[in-house]
Structure 1
Amino acid sequence: MDGAKAPAISDVWREVRARLKSEYGPAVFSAELARLRVVDNGPSAVILVAPTAFSKSWVEDHAGARIRALWASFDSARRMVEVLSDRDLATSAAPQAEEADEAEPARQDTAAHAGNVTAMPRDRSGRRSGERFTFDTFMVGPSNELAAVAAKSVINASPSPFNPAFFYGDYGVGKTHLLNAIAHSVELGGQRRKALYLTAEEFLSGFVSAMRARDTMAFKDRVRNVDVLLIDDVHFIAGKPKTEDEFLHTILALMADDRQVILASHSAPGDLPVCDPRLASLLRGGFACQMMKPDLDLRRKILDCKVAQAEKHYPDLDVPEAVRDFLAARITTSARELEGVLNNVIARTALMGRDVTLETVEEALRELAITGERKVTVDDIQRTVAQHFNVKVADIVSKRRNKAIVTPRHIAMYLAKTLTTRSLPDIGRRFGGRDHSTVIHAVKKVVTLIENDDAIAALIDQLVRELGG
């Protein structure tokens, strides 16, 4: 930290809580996030403590990555954030000490120089701890059947038939679950193979930390000394030249040894704003599989699976068939939102000693302001605007500044601000890592155009109708 005094943990947590409340809304914040408390875990780490194991799982699945990103932005000490339940905290001291004694020297070096790589609580494969993200709990339907079959085909294949394998789709369609299921199966397979799951943010922060420490070998050893490397949210690496270069050479090194690389992103390989043409060619040359939003039957299967998991924590929980049918039909946006609604229903019923009925479910939906209508996403907006102006999404999020690209980019930013609940910094990140001030400028520019140009006003109105906003 160059001698600078680290901010107080309570001050950082206050800032993070305020942002979480703004981004997730008062209802979800009060039900799921307000009950977290922060515990000092030494100079390089903090622990967020959830009251129950169920609450811990919800936080990890729905807010874990965002909490860590916010914490990193407010905390100059770059402390790692771990989420535990009260029960975990009470029993974690001894097992952690044992694991530290057993850790390999190379792994210890990695923790010292690239600690941000493993910010989430994980087992030794790097995947999320617990058994929630396995193929047993990955429900399959027409929207993800090819992805499931392809994922299973690479687990024990040597050499792999698909390398790299690239899964893409909107947020909440199951990409993270699928990658963790692959890691779980590889580790438990009979071939003694090693898998490592990382988010792109963890790959990026670990690489940056290693460069600052002037010791990148420990980082390289960790990400390249595996049989299967899985990187989630690859779009966060695109557009960062130095990280792209390391990412490219990591993939090439693994593929040269017939080791498997599996990637996931919300954008197709050809739509990523990649700077390095070699990396762009490599990503496009692999197997790409789109994962779509679940249909009604698959949503019902997912809901049944989530209810079964919840019943392990709440043995008296009873979710009637009529309620399950209602939720599966009503929540059409994503499996993640479906699970979020179920969690909120449980919080308002099982925790309060009330029965789960259609009336209590509708009450929860009203409090969450969920209507079941299609939610417009930034990805939807970028694709729609790109199609209208006959440009690529990659152009809109690129650094290019010619008028043919700038105008669609400004309009897409304006629509993202007016039709979604995303924050300005988040919108900026989704447009090639731009600052929030750039989004503000774009919004003001389009507002002026709407006021002074009837053609632009009509175009915006048309795009809003197409997006269903």
Structure 2
Amino acid sequence: MTPQTKAPALDSVDDSWTRVRAGLVGQIGQDNFKNWIEPLVFLGSDSGVGRFAAPTAFIGTWVQRNYGDALRTLLCREGLTVTQLDFAVAQAPVPAMRVVPKDATALVAPAPQPAAAAAGAGEVDLPASPLDGRCTFDNFVVGKPNELAHAAAHRVAEGVAEGAGVTFNPLFLYGGVGLGKTHLMHAIAWEVRQKNPEARVLYLSAEQFMYRFVSALRFKDMHGFKEMFRSVDMLMVDDVQFISGKDSTQEEFFHTFNALIEQQKQIVISADRAPGEIDGLEDRIKSRLQWGLVVDLHPTDYELRLGILQAKAEAHMEQHPGVGVGAGVMEFLAHRISSNVRVLEGALNRLFAYASLVGREINLDMTQECLADILRASERKVTIDEILRKVADHYTLRMSDLLSARRARQVARPRQVAMYLAKTLTSKSLPEIGRRFGGRDHTTVIHAVRKIEELRATDGQIAEDVELLRRMLEA
């Protein structure tokens, strides 16, 4: 009778597993390791069986199929006699679902939500899939540029959470960097999670969708891929423009999209452009992305930036109770930093960190000193040529029309709008602006600026045109 192999001491098992993990990183790469191996817990070996706890059966099956040989080889090198592997689903509480913004792995079966997650405090510890607890609807500052996107996202979250069917499908959110697309997608996931812990949500980037698809082809596991993506209650894909020009990935995305729509499952997509403006995307996919509701997150205006700053400052002051904010600081930042909200938040983070370290109030002098580099980078760089192009496009004119001597109202009014924007958005003098507009006198520029200022107060269309053009030029 062969004596049973004595299990190594716990410390020895932990040390062995640490070395095995290091060996696997070198063999399969950091991304694969983070997605598939990092969530595992090695329980030890017994009678030739290496035992692991996995967050889901799917992950255990995937690792067994794709990395089983490598695991067994490395474990044996550690002196552990392992001829087969066993993966059991962990019984310890895990987050209710996995929401994967940039590094998707797989669905995780629902389970009780940890108290920290329920409170929305900080970032929830999800294996390889962090969900930012700050990105909730409660923490989203709503203003005119984003109110439609916020309302649509809230409606989708309620529909999925209540199982009441989809109001519009898909929801397509698009806009530039730092305008709130990711925040709204996280907020949808949080809302669904809070109201319906049983809901299965998969959230990933289009790049990760492609990566999963290529991996499934490589390891001949298209069945597992389709099962992962078509068994969800809601699929959320970020930066869908990434799959433009990638024919095979687009083909699979098209079939996944259709399968979920047929099952009446919700789809939420984000991109940096509207569906019809994404070059290299198949027409049939563009058409489907426009089936539901397409919402543009406009560049922030002054009022929205100020509201965001005030909300963020209140949160900072709770963390740094000894730090005060002087008069005019928030208004100064909202005016000077208009590129995107991320830059604005980063500036505020730096200010509070600096003030807490040196023990001073945040005033305008400190702000200009501490944020000199950000303020320089955020200085307006709008040119008169850009203004002429934007205004000509907006009013369906040629740039030469704006520079001409034509006095017809359909040309003269846009020309005055362009002069007003040149005066308010650039540092050019009135004579310089006049020369750039076909050699006109500076008094013509003064008249144009005053006229547009008057019309903004009485003519809603002019006010809307000027505000839209200003946002586009400052974005």
- Bin of the TM-score, shorter chain as denominator length: 0.5 to 0.7
CA contact (8 A) 1:110 1:219 kept: no
Q: Whole-Å Cα distance in 2 between the matches of residues 111 and 316 of structure 1?
A: 51
Which residue in the other structure is 2:309 paired with? 303
Per the TM alignment, residue 42 of structure 1 is displaced from its structure 2 partner at its CA by 3.0
The unaligned stretches of length 5 or more in structure 2 are 1-19, 44-51, 68-99, 107-122, 397-471
1:166-245 superposed matches below 5 A = 166-190=172-196, 192-245=198-251
Which residue in the other structure is 1:162 paired with? 168
1:106 to 43, 54, 58: 58
Which residue in the other structure is 1:118 paired with? 104
Which residue in the other structure is 2:155 paired with? 153
CA pair 161-324 structure 1, distance change in 2 beyond 3 A: same
CA pair 178-467 structure 1, distance change in 2 beyond 3 A: closer
Alignment of 1:78 onto 2:29: yes
Which residue in the other structure is 1:367 paired with? 373
Which residue in the other structure is 1:324 paired with? 330
Which residue in the other structure is 1:133 paired with? 135
CA contact (8 A) 2:39 2:54 kept: no
Q: Whole-Å Cα distance in 1 between the matches of residues 256 and 277 of structure 2?
A: 21
Which residue in the other structure is 2:11 paired with? none
Listed one character per residue, the Cα deviations across residues 53-111 of structure 1 (whole Å, up to 9, x for unaligned) are xxxxxxxxxxxxxxxxxxxxxx995313999xxxxxxxxx999779x835121134457
Q: Whole-Å Cα distance in 1 between the matches of residues 58 and 344 of structure 2?
A: 41
SS at match of 1:197: strand
Q: Whole-Å Cα distance in 1 between the matches of residues 266 and 201 of structure 2?
A: 9
1:42 to 22, 27, 39: 22
CA pair 178-287 structure 1, distance change in 2 beyond 3 A: same
CA pair 188-467 structure 1, distance change in 2 beyond 3 A: closer
Alignment of 1:249 onto 2:255: yes
Q: Whole-Å Cα distance in 1 between the matches of residues 151 and 240 of structure 2?
A: 22
Alignment of 1:258 onto 2:264: yes
Q: Whole-Å Cα distance in 2 between the matches of residues 274 and 338 of structure 1?
A: 33
Give TM-score, length-normalised by structure 1.
0.57
CA contact (8 A) 2:174 2:295 kept: yes
SS at match of 1:320: coil
Which residue in the other structure is 1:88 paired with? none
Share of identical aligned residues, percent?
Answer: 35
1:272 to 275, 278, 302: 278
CA pair 282-76 structure 1, distance change in 2 beyond 3 A: farther
1:424-435 superposed matches below 5 A = none
CA pair 271-43 structure 1, distance change in 2 beyond 3 A: farther
SS at match of 2:221: coil
Give TM-score, length-normalised by structure 2.
0.57
Which residue in the other structure is 1:17 paired with? none
Alignment of 1:287 onto 2:293: yes
Which residue in the other structure is 1:395 paired with? none
Q: CA RMSD in A?
A: 4.0
Per the TM alignment, residue 361 of structure 1 is displaced from its structure 2 partner at its CA by 0.8
CA pair 111-344 structure 1, distance change in 2 beyond 3 A: farther
SS at match of 1:137: coil
SS at match of 1:196: strand
CA pair 110-296 structure 1, distance change in 2 beyond 3 A: farther
CA contact (8 A) 2:40 2:55 kept: no
Q: Whole-Å Cα distance in 2 between the matches of residues 296 and 369 of structure 1?
A: 16
Per the TM alignment, residue 468 of structure 1 is displaced from its structure 2 partner at its CA by 8.2
CA pair 94-261 structure 1, distance change in 2 beyond 3 A: closer
Q: Whole-Å Cα distance in 2 between the matches of residues 41 and 370 of structure 1?
A: 46
What letter is aligned with 2:288?
L
Greater relative contact order structure (CA < 8 Å, 6+ sep): 1
CA contact (8 A) 1:81 1:119 kept: no
Larger Rg: 2
Which residue in the other structure is 2:442 paired with? none
Listed one character per residue, the Cα deviations across residues 248-267 of structure 1 (whole Å, up to 9, x for unaligned) are 11111111111000001110
Per the TM alignment, residue 226 of structure 1 is displaced from its structure 2 partner at its CA by 1.4
What letter is aligned with 1:101?
A
The unaligned stretches of length 5 or more in structure 1 are 1-39, 46-74, 84-92, 391-465
CA contact (8 A) 2:233 2:265 kept: yes
Q: Whole-Å Cα distance in 1 between the matches of residues 303 and 291 of structure 2?
A: 33
Listed one character per residue, the Cα deviations across residues 20-57 of structure 1 (whole Å, up to 9, x for unaligned) are xxxxxxxxxxxxxxxxxxxx973556xxxxxxxxxxxx
CA pair 132-147 structure 1, distance change in 2 beyond 3 A: same
CA pair 111-178 structure 1, distance change in 2 beyond 3 A: farther
CA contact (8 A) 2:216 2:222 kept: yes
SS at match of 1:338: helix
CA contact (8 A) 1:117 1:202 kept: yes
Per the TM alignment, residue 210 of structure 1 is displaced from its structure 2 partner at its CA by 2.5
CA pair 191-313 structure 1, distance change in 2 beyond 3 A: closer
SS at match of 1:293: coil
Per the TM alignment, residue 224 of structure 1 is displaced from its structure 2 partner at its CA by 2.1
Q: Whole-Å Cα distance in 2 between the matches of residues 219 and 144 of structure 1?
A: 35
